[in-house]
Structure 1
């Protein structure tokens, strides 16, 4: 078995070598991977000693010099900053080497994006996912106003705004275009509020044509059972995926809400769980006994980590799962079970339609799904055809 503590290190980084190994092992890296990083650490330490440099002088520029020396020596591995980033991050956390300073914006577009991101986070207090989406739209729009690397806001006219929306409509579906237009209105309002432009052009952003929402498509009980049974519960990953699927199916959580769960959110005494929903909204939901039992089974085999997220990545470092990785769990499970692809949100629909079939009223379903608007829940009524048949009037002339 690879033992990173047997790697011989000399030079300025000798004192912190074992500390780096312990932290990387605790983060979930395999012993073999940590041993490889220690080999690189040993070479970096010897190079610093040869150059007469101390650990406090190991800046980003010095790291680039070390990597250049490795490439010039004919090395092909560990020759990029990205490959060394995990080890350098541990050294910075241990305060062995200087913390990287945030670089100043490299262009006029980046300068505006930095100010816009701060506005969204501090003044608007938007959720992180919303900030990422809106800054991404701004990153696509602002280059339309750039001339020779300078932003020409005098060219920001209603025609330019509508022209950008028309161009993007050729690339995205209506649902995505609605997100884009909302983000674009937010951007032009920001430019107006900060005095960059002299009039509010939010009204110049075209509205996306409304399309009637499709009926929610649930999943039958046999298919749900097949998804759960596809998880290999003899492994830590299988137990994790089984727990995620259980939360999606039984509680109707969104993928982002599952990813946002933390260990402290589960109140085992009261049998409740705190859900971080849209708009940073916090809700407490009852935790059914069988769902809690599934979580306990997963937690007993959860990888060791200082991360307080409930669900962790399978590979080291064991950091929190993202909403995107949670959405892949039911997709992968449906492939294992030989089913057509089933997304995480469809399981949310299944939870709602299941409650409706069991006789739960719409206000109770809205409370369980944490809907802000009644219309979001009302569309589930169209799924219950048996109930609709009792109130549907006979067609004139129809004999029944």
Structure 2
């Protein structure tokens, strides 16, 4: 495999692997080459099944690194480009998978839902199909079957989770009716689940805690510079974690001081970019963001393989920062609540708060009306005194 060593080094360099971390990939390439030579296999004869055989022998030999296809991905990519028949035929798609794939496309293209919401709806729809027991054949489904599924879910989960299941099932049944999978619209049979959900006030963080959260980000390091900019974006603009993750270089208009936010439902909103936030992002782009990359997302992983931060990664870096600051672990949405609570305390009308947070429905903003306790005291009825019962 010696002729392909240079190509492998090039692939690893493009993906952000440091020179020292490329060495183990060369070593495993040599190990695989010797294994193939012992079996008189050419690169053009290496199949996916033989790769699995090699990995199994590697594990049995006591190796703990490079024992999965994922860890060998750069090497296998190079070998596939050299003619190794590593592509496996796609496994047959079941009728249930085909139905749910169509439902997911419908939610994305017609409803414009976020990927995380689509995944949650599809998961609950799959649970309904598994409980029904007839796969994708819904001809025998009636209102009794729908009611039974909702009641069975409500017996095992919290009221909030059962309510979400009913909403997802209602959406799925409506899709099935629209596409002709069922002849009758059964969505109305997925009735709302009653039950008291624990109602709590939206919680922000204090100014002191906010300063502590930013202070623990060491801006002399690449990770700290990035984390500082991310947390400041969450604090000052009230962005969601997914909105920070998909922010692209072209979304920032440095001349006008505006940033375009890709929100829920494919919604695009322009927000003013505060000077403090702009300076933090500029510092990251100039001094900490990997320069040799074609990725257009603003915030990237600092370790190889190079990729954009995900929604989950944004949440993790906020939680790690809160732990380092000695705070109770908190997520990025808590910072969004903090911005709203600060605006309520400053007397900003709820309508304007909803515009800043980009709520599509005023109901989402109304929860912050409960935060202003002092103003609520003026409308509270006095407790009756005296008298007998």
Q: Considering the TM-score relative to the shorter chain, is it more than 0.5? A: yes
Report if the CA contact (8 A) 1:145-1:155 is conserved: no
Cα 1:74–1:240, aligned 2, differ >3 Å: closer, same or farther? closer
**What secondary structure is seen at the aligned counterpart in 1 of 2:70?**
helix
Within the candidate set 125, 149, 155, 1:164 is matched to 149
Partner of 2:210: 224
Between 195-204 and 105-114, the greater mean CA deviation after superposition? 105-114
Single out whichever of 378-387 and 251-260 deviates more from structure 2: 378-387
Partner of 2:180: 195
Q: 1:185 to 1:88 in 2, by over 3 A?
A: farther
* Distance in 2 between residues matched to 1:259 and 1:195, nearest whole Å: 37
Deviates more, 1:301-310 or 1:283-292: 301-310
1:371 aligns with 2:356: no
Q: Hey, what does 1:103 align to over in structure 2?
A: 90
Does 1:28 pair with 2:13?
A: no
Q: State how far apart, in whole Å, the 2-side matches of 1:181 and 1:315 are.
A: 41
The DSSP-based 3-state class of the residue aligned with 1:153 is coil
- Report if the CA contact (8 A) 1:253-1:369 is conserved: yes
Please list, as runs of the form range in 1=range in 2, the aligned pairs for 1:202-241 lying within 5 A after superposition.
Answer: 202-209=187-194, 211=197, 213-241=199-227
RMSD of the alignment, in Å?
3.1
Cα pair distance change 1:330/1:359, threshold 3 Å:
same
Equivalent residues of 2:143, 2:189 under 8 A apart? yes
**Contact 2:318 2:332 (8 Å CA) reproduced:** yes
1:130 corresponds to: 117
SS at match of 1:81: coil
What do residues 144-195 of structure 1 show as CA deviations (whole Å, max 9, x unaligned)? Answer: 2336xx5553442323222222333344333333332222122222222333
Q: Is the CA contact (8 Å cut-off) linking 1:145 and 1:151 kept in structure 2?
A: no
> Residues of 2 paired with 1:155 and 1:141: CA distance?
13
After superposition, residues 107-122 of structure 1 pair within 5 angstroms as 107-122=94-109
Where do 5+ consecutive residues of structure 2 fail to align?
Answer: none
Whether the 8 Å contact between 2:46 and 2:86 is mirrored in structure 1 is no
Which residue does 2:267 correspond to in 1?
281
Q: Distance in 1 between matches of 2:109 and 2:33?
A: 41
CA contact (8 A) 1:127 1:279 kept: yes
What residue in structure 2 maps to residue 183 of structure 1? Answer: 168
Paired position in structure 2 for 1:5: none
User: What is aligned with 2:311?
Assistant: 323
Cα distance in 2, alignment partners of residues 189 and 177 from structure 1: 18
| Unaligned residue ranges in structure 1 (runs of 5+) | 1-8
SS at match of 2:183: coil
